[in-house]
Amino acid sequence: MSQARSVSQPLSHVTVKSGPRSCHPLRGQSLKSQKSGAPQAPGKTRARSRRVDPRLIIGGILVTFFVLLAIFAGPLSALTGNDPYTPHRELLDDNSVPTGFGGGISAQHWFGVTPLRGADLFSIVAYGAQVSLTIGIGATVISMLIGVGVGLLAGYFPGVVDAVLSRTMDVFFGFPFLIFAIALSAVVPASFPRELLLILVLGFFGWPSIARLIRGQVLSLRGRDYTTAARLMGASTGHILVNELLPGLLPLIIVRLTLALPGRISAEAALSFLGVGINPPTPSWGRSISDAVAWVMVDPMYLLFPGLALFLVTLGFNLLGDGLADALNPRARRREMVEATVDRTSGKATTGTVGTVTDGHNARPDSHDVREEVQA
């Protein structure tokens, strides 16, 4: 009897907090909140997990700016009565170099004028945004359609179909695209719309990387329970591909779309820089950069503004794509939720994350609740 009394004696000093404990991260209460009796804000523990990625903000601002610049290129240029075609040779000196500060920057010419012709540089950059975005979006959509279709078929039909399509991807990966584009520009008649030609060429040669990503994802999704159930219920192949597999690929497609766009825009600029892209007098960032190289010592602004526009639009789409990749990744979201339950400064459990057991003075977190949070 005395031994039983001595064993049970220390337990009398241990007090368990009254009230039901919850393993849910939003319903538990910490020691501090229990002592004060103040209710916890439902969304306080996940405030950090809900923060917006700075890459999404910066990338979205840059992309929106250039999209609006392309849409309103005409009205913006009309504010100063300019267009990318009309020369202003009266603003040039005897050496065909713009006079005035920064290559002729003024209230009438926001970016100055170009050497040799005196065309308004802001109009060239604004109308060049129309050309670059049109070609980039058109080529990316074509690449995406071909790549998604080929990837779905290659991933869903392993064997002969997968082998044939995979070898076709390898051939396109090793094909000398630049040589083909230069040769094609010399063969196609000048009357054929150059923008449409670039959209078709860039779109047709840009699908293998997309198809390979889609194929790998389909290989992992085709064995899921919902796909197997649809197959056992007699669903057609088209129904499974479109209604069962394709929705699971949408996050990957959206991210890949935003990351592929700057590549197409840069490819168009590179072809125009080499003289096989957009023909003059249609404005083009790549051709403007190519023309500005010869004048960089006497008029650096002619190179700065088109080059900066190309850099910023590429940066914007890359930041947007990286931000979307993390935002649409469920593992990244789950990791942020777990990190939000840990106070990095004190190392203690944060408010409302775990239940506590006290011994009268010290509180310890119940590790069972933390394990359930990680497993969720």
- Cα separation, 254 vs 172, in Å, equals 23
What's the pLDDT score for residue 316?
94
Q: Angle at Cα 133 formed by Cα 132 and Cα 137, nearest 5°? A: 120
State the greatest distance between any 2 C-alpha atoms of the chain, in Å, as a whole number: 115
What's the pLDDT score for residue 231?
84
Check whether residue 277 and residue 298 sit in a common domain.
yes
For the chain (length 376 residues), average pLDDT per consecutive 10? 44 44 44 45 49 88 95 92 90 89 90 92 94 94 94 91 92 85 83 90 90 91 85 87 88 90 91 86 91 91 94 94 81 54 47 39 38 36
Check whether residue 367 and residue 247 sit in a common domain.
no
Contacts of 33 (CB under 8 A, 6+ apart): 39, 40, 351, 352
Q: What DSSP designation does 245 have?
A: I
Q: What DSSP designation does 50 have?
A: G
What are the helix and strand counts (H, E) for the chain?
16, 2
Contacts of 69 (CB under 8 A, 6+ apart): 76, 126, 129
Check whether residue 173 and residue 136 sit in a common domain.
yes
- Cα separation, 363 vs 357, in Å, equals 6
How far is Cα of residue 351 from the mean position of the Cα atoms in its chain? Answer: 34
Check whether residue 89 and residue 223 sit in a common domain.
yes
In a domain, 60, yes or no: yes
294 residue type, one letter:
A
In a domain, 327, yes or no: yes
Task: For residue 225, give the 3-state DSSP assignment.
Answer: helix
* Cα dihedral 369, 374, 375, 376 sign: positive
- Cα separation, 130 vs 126, in Å, equals 7
* Backbone dihedral angles phi then psi of residue 365, each to the nearest 5 degrees: -75, 145
Nearest to 365 by CA among 341, 335, 345, 344: 341
Check whether residue 119 and residue 173 sit in a common domain.
yes
Angle between helices 330-339 and 301-327 (to 10 degrees): 80
Core vs surface per residue 36-58: b (16+ CB within 10 A) or e = eeeebeeeebbeebeeebebbee
What's the pLDDT score for residue 149?
93
In a domain, 181, yes or no: yes
Q: Which residues partner with 15 through β-bridges?
A: 358
Domain around 184: 54-332
In a domain, 262, yes or no: yes
In a domain, 194, yes or no: yes
In a domain, 12, yes or no: no
Check whether residue 102 and residue 193 sit in a common domain.
yes
What's the pLDDT score for residue 232?
87
Check whether residue 265 and residue 356 sit in a common domain.
no
Q: Which residues partner with 55 through β-bridges?
A: none
Check whether residue 194 and residue 254 sit in a common domain.
yes
- Cα separation, 88 vs 118, in Å, equals 5
Q: What DSSP designation does 342 have?
A: B
What's the pLDDT score for residue 173?
86
| CATH (domain of 192) | 1.10.3720.10
In a domain, 281, yes or no: yes
Check whether residue 226 and residue 285 sit in a common domain.
yes
- The encoded tokens of residue 60 equal 């979205």
- The encoded tokens of residue 128 equal 């060049």
Structural domain tally of the chain?
2
Check whether residue 347 and residue 280 sit in a common domain.
no
Check whether residue 237 and residue 362 sit in a common domain.
no
What's the pLDDT score for residue 185?
80
- Cα separation, 24 vs 338, in Å, equals 12
Nearest to 298 by CA among 98, 65, 161: 98
Contacts of 184 (CB under 8 A, 6+ apart): 197, 201
Q: Rounded to whole angstroms, what are the CA distances from 367 to 14, 58, 82? A: 18, 39, 69
Task: For residue 363, give the 3-state DSSP assignment.
Answer: strand
Check whether residue 359 and residue 224 sit in a common domain.
no
In a domain, 2, yes or no: no
